[in-house]
Chains A and B, each alone.
Chain A
Amino acid sequence: MAEYKTEPLKCWNKAKELRLKYYKDYQEAHKKGGIRWTGGAWALDAVPAGLGRDVYNITGEPYGASIAFDKKFSLECMEATEAKGWARDLCSYMRNYWGSMYLNKFAFGGEYPEPDFCYQDHICCSHAKWYQHVAEYKKTPYFCVDVSVGPYNELDENRLMFVVNQLHEAIEWMEKTTGRKYQDELLIEAVENECRSTSTWAEICCLNMAKPAPLDEKTMYSLYVHGTLAKHKKEVADFYEELRDEVKYRVENNIAALPNEKCRLMSDTQPPWGFLKVFRYLEKYGAISIGSLYTFGLIGIWETKPDGAWGPRTTPMQKGEKITNRDQALRILADWNLSKPEWQHFYDPDLKTEMMLQIVKQWKLDGVMLHLNRGCEGLTCGIMENRLGIAKTGTPIMTFEGNMGDEREFDEKQVMTRIDSFMETLGLQMMTV
């Protein structure tokens, strides 16, 4: 007997359509005289938006994840990358992406669409080399931004300007490379959209504090992804507001993601994209993953409110601040992005532990699951310190090994057995239907 009522999300199909449209627009950009650029999801993507309304990007990580979901194609990409001599322990998103490039196959059909330029920021060693290689292989112009300015709580004017000045250079470089005149009003619009979409996503994550949770993490992956594709676009900001309103409705009407929610968990870093069934497996125990630092903090931008709680960061527009010029827009963009929670723990695992414990407390969770993700050096850095830090508080925690993008490194049976043991530790038994 279900404890809570549940129903599918009304905006689910729109989410799917938006995503497919994004990839189709990228693929067909040249047909309409538009520009294609490729880079990471963290690459401060509002900047190229100033080149025109026909500028389309493909962000490497979601693309790598999309490939990972297609196990057969992913294996082809992995093998193509290994055949070129690359090591198997490199970033698995990168290997999937490169494989697609080497094979000249686009995950959404047709050939790999050639970018007009690469634009990237160096969030980790892999991201730094990823597009350098793409640029060399495809003989494509490449601009990169060095963003190693330390955690946000140490950001000062010098560090901020280190990034902002590079963004100014990036714009000049883009004008020369594309031959287009940069339009500051488009940049301003993109920055405002980005602030709106990322703050709204944080708001949506906050709604998952409700019991029963209106969303489960597997569903959230299909929703947060838009922020990784084009958070600077009006359609994404608008979609998140529509989604937020629907999730609010679900909370007000006690509509659950999991009809028999008994236990609330969070996960950690990227999931094993080829095995998202682990989240459905949890549900057999009445356990729901309500999110993670990854789903909350990769796209969501947050701030600590006066009462000490985490909440969506107040946008400049909400503060009544009007963006009037390029420099102001770039400063806001840089500051906004550098405050991203997922960025902080690249510098210190203790920062990640603190943030995760904040989520455990505020979202009233019963346990934590850590994916020891062999496919990502950046987000896995310090993860065993995280485990220790969380375990010290008495919060039940489990780990499982895997790889976000290389399904060869995920042992399904072994992981399910670990989950069984963890559920038992939490006092849960598998529910009979």
Chain B
Amino acid sequence: MITAGIDMGAKFIKVLLLKDGEIMAKAQEMAGFEPVEAAEKAFSKALSESRLSKEDVNAIFATGAGRKAAPFAQDSITEVGAAARGVTHSHPSVRTIIEVGAEEGRAVKCNEQGKVEDFAINEKCAAGAGSFTEAMSRALEVPLDEFGRISLTSSKSIPMNAQCAVFAESEVVSLVHAKTPKADIARAVHDAIASRIVSMVRRVGINNDVALIGGVSYNPGFVDSLNRGLETTVIIPENAEYTGALGAAIVAAERNKND
């Protein structure tokens, strides 16, 4: 059986094709102002990569912030459910999943079957999401892909006092004017996001193994800060940003089998 998962994220649309539990292809497009078009493009790319046609796909499920707008999806599951199923598929020992995307941070507690037992989502706060790192990298005039790396070269802990991503930008500017090395500021930013995330994770409990998914998992600076905050080492699944799409494809296969 071949199924597809479409993750209609706030910033990126990810599509994954699954055959009998094995990943066949994946593709992504920037959501932009035309997420439906972007989803169609990503889907076509994934089909092309696997040399399949749309008719070969038995079921398509969507997830993500824009899941209700996903084209040609038969059904959808929430990001929380998708994350749990996606991660435990490849890492069955995981019991706590942290997902940090562009706009949301989530913590999910699950059992060995990937069933969600509890969850927490950041409320009205961008300071615990990927947009914050982007804003701070712009404030520091450091490319985003460099931002994480340079923070690893710092060994200094500078507390960021601002509770808010918007105010934190002014704080970064003040630190720059005080001649604080960029590496130290970058580390301070990552520590600040990590502390918000850790605080949220504590609401559902930190139970090993802990996995980290979402776009921000590619930021080594953030990962380092998070590991220190959690006092554990997080597992980052391969292709972490596709975990939601994987979870949706897995559930599509299960529900299609039962039908």
Contact = CB atoms under 8 A, between A and B. Distances in A.
Given A387-B203, A391-B118, A397-B118, A425 B80 contact: yes
Q: Which of A387, A417, A422, A425 has the most CB of B within 10 A?
A: A425
Given A387-B203, A391-B118, A417-B65, A424 B123 contact: no
A420 B123 contact: no
Contact of A424 (B65, B81, B118, B204): B81
A421 B107 CA distance: 12
A421 B124 contact: no
A420 B203 contact: no
Contacts of B119: 398, 421-422, 425
Contacts of A422: 119
A166 B116 CA distance: 53
B116 A424 contact: yes
Going nearest first, the 5 A-B pairs with the smallest beta carbon separation are: A421-B80, A421-B78, A401-B123, A425-B116, A424-B81
B246 interface: no
Nearest to B76: A420
A387 B79 CA distance: 22
A19 interface: no
Interface string A157-182: 00000000000000000000000000
Contacts of B79: 421
Interface in B79-117: 79-81, 116-117
Contact of A372 (B78, B80, B117, B123): B123
Interface in A389-412: 391, 396-399, 401, 411
B210 to A, nearest CB: 18
B64 to A, nearest CB: 10
Contacts, number: 39
Q: Which of A397, A417, A421 has the most CB of B within 10 A?
A: A421
A418 interface: yes
29 contacts: A384-B203, A387-B203, A388-B203, A391-B118, A396-B117, A396-B118, A397-B118, A398-B119, A399-B120, A399-B123, A401-B123, A401-B124, A411-B124, A414-B124, A417-B78, A418-B121, A420-B78, A421-B78, A421-B79, A421-B81, A421-B119, A421-B121, A422-B119, A424-B78, A424-B80, A424-B81, A424-B116, A425-B80, A425-B119
Contacts of A396: 117-118
Interface string B53-75: 00000000000010000000000
Contacts of B65: 417
Contacts of A414: 124
Contacts of A398: 119
A397 B205 CA distance: 14
B18 interface: no
Contacts of B123: 372, 399, 401
Nearest to A411: B124
A417 B229 CA distance: 28
A422 B79 CA distance: 11
Contacts of A425: 80-81, 116-119
A372 B116 CA distance: 22
A166 B80 CA distance: 53
B106 to A, nearest CB: 9
Nearest to B204: A391
A414 B65 CA distance: 9
Nearest to A429: B75
Contacts of A391: 118, 204
B46 interface: no
Interface in A334-372: 372
A391 B116 CA distance: 13
A216 B22 CA distance: 45
B81 to A, nearest CB: 5
A251 to B, nearest CB: 33
A420 B81 CA distance: 10
Given A420-B78, A425-B118, 15 more contacts: A372-B123, A388-B203, A391-B118, A398-B119, A399-B120, A417-B78, A421-B79, A421-B81, A421-B116, A421-B119, A422-B119, A424-B77, A424-B81, A424-B116, A425-B119
Q: Which of B117, B121, B203 has the most CB of A within 10 A?
A: B121
A388 B202 CA distance: 10
A185 B96 CA distance: 64
Contacts of B117: 396, 425
Contacts of A424: 77-78, 80-81, 116
A5 to B, nearest CB: 30
Contacts of B124: 401, 411, 414
Interface string B122-157: 011000000000000000000000000000000000
A387 B205 CA distance: 12
B80 to A, nearest CB: 4
Contacts of A420: 78
Nearest to B251: A424
A397 B119 CA distance: 9
Contacts of B120: 399
Interface in A245-266: none
B74 to A, nearest CB: 12
A411 B65 CA distance: 14
Nearest to A409: B124
Contacts of A399: 120, 123
Contacts of B121: 418, 421
Nearest to A388: B203
Q: Which of A398, A417, A422 has the most CB of B within 10 A?
A: A417
A26 to B, nearest CB: 37
Contacts of A388: 203
Contacts of A387: 203
B29 to A, nearest CB: 22
A398 B204 CA distance: 11
B123 to A, nearest CB: 5
B259 to A, nearest CB: 13
Nearest to B119: A421
A418 B81 CA distance: 11
Nearest to B205: A391
Nearest to B124: A401
B195 to A, nearest CB: 17
